Structure 1
């Protein structure tokens, strides 16, 4: 068992960063979100275990053991396992205005390779694997497993709108109606607070992580990682050159 009181089953790009901040503001924090994994100790080991179907339950427990709520990837992928571990938890399915709206947002951000032709798609996937943290690659591979999406969201042949629709239908079919809130962040505080049984804040509902903000953040991260990689290559080359000249002379 973990300590989760709220399980977010909605896919990424459904207002999950805004939801994280909202839940923490009304007392359901800390809340796990993809951003947390960048500094989470042991996450590579845990996601590698899950991908290999090794110590899956123990690894899921380890990832979420210090949190009261979880939204976004990777938590949404394990909503059924988390429900079993936390039978009293409530489930929130974040949604967008339409499947097409979600496909556009996710295609412009987390699954941008999906919107490219095959060659560009493969290049984007290669760059992602080379210059982004390895645990993100593992999370994407878990997404492709039959037990999660069964398709590769980065594949140009994948219909993202259909993937989103299939996922939401699966959640609605597998979560008891009395434990489930289908929620669009545009609805604001009231339905969320009523569902969770807490007072409605007198502050505006959080609105963060737009497509433009996400693209700028990831672009900066990618550039930084590429620069670091190039720096390591140059330094390694200089060390090799110095060693070579010291050994064989000028």
Structure 2
């Protein structure tokens, strides 16, 4: 483990994911953490964290970000005390607007909501996300069929402030980079001691387009979509067979009357 991105979602983490990937880091984001390590995470959240388990989970991973790693960044840092920590930040009002816009985009995506309901992997993804978010916010709001209901502006901004303050207090200054997307490549590459690439700094998930981008670019989301299509086709077949059987049964009873 070389880099822990401790910034909360909607602080430029998807852009940071792409930047680190372009710098040839092996990055685990939300979906990778779920798909490859979801059972480990749920077990640790429920039963307590162990450094040896965290080291085993991430021994071959260069960088981590987003949920649940940004929430439990300190537990990862305890296991990898030599790692560098990047705290992605943005101004509070902009962050809150972006966060709620993202929630609206997720809540209004019917395909995603169906996928989280009718597929086994989707239901596991919802459980995995709920476990970490509930433990962190100490609230009962969950990612359900109705969508994500984290809306209280005052509570969310307090959470953001508390989170950023803790990161700055705990991480040694020589291991911490406080970073905004507008800072571009140079401070990031200087911090990581790598050459600056001859590319524009990436800007991802603008306007709450996370799900669209994941479907297009992330192979794990591609697998989830494929599973959803198979599950939906199976449900349609079962429904069609059931409807056919019901019609035949009605016809049979009609014949009996004569």
- TM bucket (normalised to shorter chain) is 0.7 to 0.9
User: 1:5–1:89: 8 Å Cα contact kept in structure 2?
Assistant: yes
Q: CA deviation at 1:228?
A: 5.3
Partner of 1:156: 151
For 1:235, the equivalent position in structure 2 comes to 237
Residues 88-144 of structure 1 deviation map (CA, whole Å, 9 limit, x = unaligned): 111000011x111111111111x4499x9xxx9xx9x98685254522432232122
Query: How is 1:1-250 mapped onto 2 (pairs within 5 angstroms)?
Result: 4-27=1-24, 29-37=25-33, 40-41=35-36, 43-53=37-47, 57=51, 60-61=54-55, 63-96=57-90, 98-109=91-102, 111-112=103-104, 129-130=116-117, 132-145=122-135, 148-151=136-139, 152=141, 154-157=149-152, 159-214=155-210, 216-217=212-213, 229-239=231-241, 250=252
* Cα pair distance change 1:211/1:56, threshold 3 Å: farther
Q: Distance in 2 between matches of 1:138 and 1:33?
A: 13
Provide the rounded CA distance (Å) in 2 between the counterparts of 1:112 and 1:101: 15
Distance (whole Å) between structure 2 residues aligned to residue 246 and residue 128 of structure 1: 32
Return the offset for 1:35: 3.6
Partner Cα separation in structure 2 for residue 236 and residue 56 of structure 1: 45
Alignment coverage as a number of residue pairs: 232
Larger Rg computed on CA atoms: 2
TM-score for both structures, normalised by structure 2: 0.72
> SS state of the match for residue 13, structure 1?
coil
User: SS of 2:72's equivalent?
Assistant: helix
Q: Runs of 5+ in structure 1 lacking a partner?
A: none
- Does the CA contact (< 8 Å) of 2:205 and 2:213 recur in 1? no
Gaps of 5+ in 2: 142-147, 253-258
Task: After TM superposition, give the deviation of residue 190 of structure 1 in Å.
Answer: 1.1
Q: Give, in whole Å, the separation in 2 of the partners of 1:46 and 1:20.
A: 22
Question: Counterpart of 2:4 in 1: which secondary structure?
Answer: strand
Question: In the alignment, is the contact (CA less than 8 A) between 2:3 and 2:85 conserved in 1?
Answer: yes
Deviations 1:129-175 (A, max 9, x none): 52545224322321221xx3334573334632222122111211221
